[in-house]
Amino acid sequence: MGIYYALIVTAVAILVTMSLAMIRAMAGPTVFDRVLALNMFGTKTVLLICVVCFTIQRTDFLDLALLYSLMNFIGMVALLRFSQFGGFADFEDASQSKSTSTSGGR
Amino acid sequence: MMEFIVIPILALLFATAITVAVIRNLWAAVMFTGIYSFLGASWMLILDAPDVAFTEAAVGAGVSTILMLATLSLVPRSSRKRGSISNSDFETKDPPRRRVISSLLVVIGTGAMLIYGTLDMPLFGSADAAIQTYPAPSFIEKSQTEMGEHGLPNVVTAVLASYRGYDTLGETAVIFTAGIAVLLILRKNKASDEIGAGQSEVTS
């Protein structure tokens, strides 16, 4: 029974960390504050899933934590690529098509 | 004890939803929708629905975030510059105040009506609910004969094979139609691009 309370306390601590990250993501003056805060939020979500799995004794849900970390990684790569290049299209093509036509195609 | 986990998750969901609605920076709003999907999926996991949580995490947090970012890169915005992006690139203006108040009233009215509609519903899991009194006994009764005729091992398999198979057939037809539509749209754009390229440069 002791380990149950330990897991609950861990989950609450993770949730407090998530709230702090969320506040930083809301307030964040620059883009990179937000990126860091949201990346940390995703990591803490993975940890929370693991703790909840052990709390409710369903360790087969741990696969979901794997999927979450994959999604977090893909999302962060997409966000950073977007914030560096301003889009996902190839930029040589994009600049050429923008000079010829502004119809929004790639 | 799970309340200590469930209530903060719901509070964070609430805060995220308010932030998405209030924040004027579209780029940050896209990120917050991803967070919302993650939190919603965590909550579904706690509600013992890992399959829905899988779907929500993969589609809501993964694919739709990227799709919304791609949309954001295509729509015109005030200062469109490459390289580093500052926060002010995606700022939108506040809507007029009167419109905000009237929309808020409409949303509150709709929500109140929906909540009023739930008041007549039976309690969660109660034995008097319509689903427990009418369909479930008939499923159990009728699947007895099907299990006997077709040699199916249990009730769940009998229901899946006899009734849910039609659901899946319909879903497959819908997805197939959507796929054909997407293919047709993409192919049309490609053809017009090739025509344009052929006009500009003769050699291919």
- Inter-chain CB proximity A41 and B84 less than 8 Å: no
Closest CA to B130 of B118, B139, B121, B141: B121
* Rounded average pLDDT over A9-35: 87
Bridge partners of residue B91, in order along the sequence: B25
- Please tell me the total count of domains within chain A: 1
The rounded Cα B107 to chain-centroid distance in angstroms is: 20
What is the Cα–Cα distance from B28 to B20, expressed in whole angstroms? 8
User: Do residue B57 and residue A68 have CB atoms under 8 angstroms apart?
Assistant: yes
Domain chopping of chain B, boundaries: 1-77+85-96, 127-204
Report which of B29, B25, B19 is spatially closest to residue B90, judged by C-alpha positions.
B25
Decide: B25 and B56 in contact? Cβ < 8 Å. no
Calpha distance A17→A28 (Å, rounded): 16
How high does pLDDT run on average in chain B? 79
Q: Which range, A43-47, A101-105, B84-88, has the best average confidence (pLDDT)?
A: A43-47
What is the interface size between A and B, counted as CB pairs within 8 Å?
Answer: 127
Query: Hey, what are B72's tokens?
Result: 């954001």
Q: Please report, for residues A95, B135, B143, B144, B151, the alpha-carbon distance to residue B148 in angstroms, rounded to integers and kept in the order given.
A: 68, 20, 8, 6, 5
The per-residue DSSP string of A9-43 comes to HHHHHHHHHHHHHHHHHHH-SSHHHHHHHHHHHHH
Per residue in B91-146, pLDDT tens?
A: 666 667 777 888 889 999 999 999 999 888 888 777 777 777 877 788 788 778 87
The domain containing residue A78 runs over which residues? 2-85
Which chain B positions have a beta carbon within 8 Å of A31's beta carbon? Answer: 27, 85-87
Task: Answer yes or no: do A52 and B45 touch at CB < 8 A.
Answer: yes
- For range A39-55, the mean pLDDT: 89
Structure ipTM: 0.76
CA–CA distance, B182 with B148 (Å, rounded to integer)? 44
Closest CA to B1 of A66, A1, A65: A1
Residues in B closer than 8 angstroms to A82, CB to CB, are 27, 69, 72-73
Count of positions (residues) in chain B: 204
Chain B residues near residue A79 by CB distance under 8 angstroms: 31, 65, 69
Indicate the SS3 state at residue B25: strand
Whether A78 and B15 lie within 8 Å, measured CB to CB: no
Question: Is A102 contained in some domain?
Answer: no
pLDDT (0 to 100) of residue B137? 80
Is the residue at A106 inside a domain? no
Residue whose structure tokens are 């993770």: A14
Q: How far is B24 from chain A (nearest CA, A)?
A: 11
Q: Which two tokens stand for residue A52?
A: 């909840």
Kindly state the tokens that stand for B153.
Answer: 């091992």
Q: Do A67 and B58 touch (CB under 8 A)?
A: yes
Of A5, A19, A78, the CB nearest to B66: A78
- Which of B66, B44, B62 lies closest to B53, judged by CA? B44
Taking Cα atoms as reference points, which of A83, A65, A105, A70 lies closest to residue B42?
A: A65
pLDDT tens-digit readout, A24-39 = 888 877 888 888 888 8
What burial class does residue B6 get, using C-beta atoms within 10 Å of its C-beta: 0-12 exposed, 13-18 middle, 19+ buried? middle
Section A69-77 average pLDDT = 85
In a domain, A105, yes or no: no
Give pLDDT < 50 ranges for chain B: 78-84, 200-204
> What gap in Å lies between CA B44 and CA A16, rounded to an integer?
20
Is residue A92 in a domain?
no
